Structure 1
């Protein structure tokens, strides 16, 4: 995809959604961190259903440590891989209390050193909480970047690196959320909604279907 089309693509996404936000519900950087850890291989909806109850009783590292493993699992047992996630969250909370006075560190290396926090989770926190121009490549962004020709790559890291080069600077802050929401609701894995896609004219997907579906009646 050429530079003019990349710029026009993001201009369209911005016009459609000027201030995109994560669909995870949180009220502090710490809550965001825990929600993103929980969201691995789980939907934002399932995470929000669990955390609305969890955060009402424990929304600081020390408060979650006070719950203990069994107490924490009671709140997140509806989320996939909850046993491993509970272990990681407790370890992360202990580090936050011991090393960072209960605060979430701003530095990538410090974030990635926390249990359950990889590059993708760190990118989400850095972008959403700290306003950095990072892009956390999940399955949706990986699909959209490759399918549209915006930033092709065979690995998650390759797509991330290529997106950072491809996205015009003025759109880098919100690119992560525009692309994930586009992949979640329009450029879906099966039956992408090409006919109603605002960036279809710039998309290089060879199999795109621009025929409007027939309506009954």
Structure 2
């Protein structure tokens, strides 16, 4: 892709994310819950914008960042356990819980591609088994750190309604384990199916 068309795609992605961000702020279920859910996405977006000129990522990485941000903004607007589409799926298929958070943790595995890009461009690591292993380990570590943050938030907020919405376990004692397993699965699948596309974009867009 040529430089101008690539930048156009990036601008369009940013506009879509901003539109969803604005929508998510309009009468959310809880402003405190929205803040807890959306803040990580906002921080990542700010970093991506501030580093765009000096350290531009591939379009694939920006697409994944946009998906992650939208995922968090939607979850923040409704709270993860009450996203309407997944309530409908829950009722239709007689599930015991709203699975938006599980879906979200699986999709968060795609951030492995962003981690892969950072490692390829900022460390001596080269494409191969060690890169796969390191990316998977970092992705799983980030997932574990996020679960720890949720736990700390629950303690600080003394288990109130906002804390329960942020924790989102919906009464499942194995929720943390499910979240991490799904992130691990999403990571491995993303690396297996997106790495070749990522390599092509690294060459075409960045000459790497």
One fold, TM greater than 0.5? Answer: no
TM-score by length of 2: 0.26
Q: Which structure has greater helix proportion?
A: 2
The TM-score, its normalising length taken from structure 1, stands at 0.26
Q: Point out the structure with max Rg over C-alpha.
A: 1
